[in-house]
A = this chain, B = another copy of it.
């Protein structure tokens, strides 16, 4: 992998291509042997490319395909291979129309995006204007991909992964399971002593939006057996069998049940509502939310009884339940989630420490609440709290 761009070497940009490509390759049983980042200098690039194609089967080059004058990858590759540059006339017309349709001039610079290395095949870019290129040489296949991660990954997913997979002899199968409501260390503990068939590998990726367990094996039967083991261990905590965030899984359930939801948020300050409206079409299940930061707002807009505050405090099970009930009633939804807690870093006490969060859930059958002690800084406490709320709603909807 050759990454080009001054921005990768002057501290401006974090290079994510090596990880993305390395992960994709690993899933196919292919090894990414080397990654190099160099600056936008045509001579340096040409020299590097000429050397590299003698060493490798596949050379992926990112960056330098855009319209500006420092985008010199096309020229450097042509120079390294001793080939000409040619204009792809059909794509040039497509590009011209695209710029025209958004009212921008199709300048000489922008036209450069239709320039291909001689005998290169154009690779469709599903998310940007500069296409990729595939170039066959005697020893190696060279892929030119745009530098922006969205476009680099977009082309990988749109066509290259499938193309590469078809060229790899052994097919590695994979099965994902997504887990919610259990912390990372608990998952690790639960997996201690669990063994799988030889050749079955369990990968593990943690994010606040759901833990991903990835089983891979060349044997589909072993994969199925491994999957059954994970269901034995984690049961109800598995919320999906494909890559999906917990909020995505919950909004799918809401749509399926034709149920509506509202939220009443204190410590999360609108974060749960934000997640609920991340997907298009959220108006089908989301009615609204009351972010009640001050107690007076909790009283006035959610109808939390004033006597709760001196007796139990705003961070308490009774307050969470009153908030959930109030949101359900005032917003007229089938379900309502409420969150009240101490996100920190200030505001904690011995009895109510930072990370203490009460989550309320109002359903057609009644109101319940749960207490959580969540780890991490303000940002993590808020995110974890939102995910625990989604998990409560998920279980109720199931």
User: Which residues of A approach B to under 8 Å, CB–CB?
Assistant: 8-16, 18-26, 31-39, 203, 205, 263, 265, 268-274, 276-278, 280-283, 286-294, 296-297, 300-301, 330-332, 343-347, 378-379
Contact = CB atoms under 8 A, between A and B. Distances in A.
A293 B301 contact: no
A39 B33 CA distance: 7
B32 A9 contact: yes
Given A14-B14, A274-B274, A36 B36 contact: yes
Contact of A290 (B280, B290, B332): B290
Given A269-B289, A288-B294, 13 more contacts: A9-B35, A12-B19, A15-B15, A15-B19, A18-B37, A270-B271, A274-B274, A278-B379, A280-B346, A282-B293, A287-B294, A289-B290, A297-B332
A200 B235 CA distance: 61
Contact of A288 (B15, B21, B301): B301
A66 B349 CA distance: 32
Given A12-B203, A22-B11, A270 B291 contact: yes
Contact of A37 (B35, B203, B282): B35
Contacts of A291: 263, 270, 273, 277, 288-291
Contacts of A283: 293-294
Contacts of A24: 11
B274 A270 contact: yes
Nearest to A332: B296
29 contacts: A9-B18, A9-B31, A10-B23, A10-B25, A10-B32, A11-B19, A11-B23, A11-B25, A15-B15, A18-B37, A34-B36, A34-B38, A263-B291, A265-B270, A265-B273, A269-B270, A269-B289, A270-B270, A270-B289, A270-B291, A277-B291, A278-B378, A278-B379, A287-B296, A288-B293, A288-B294, A290-B291, A290-B301, A301-B330
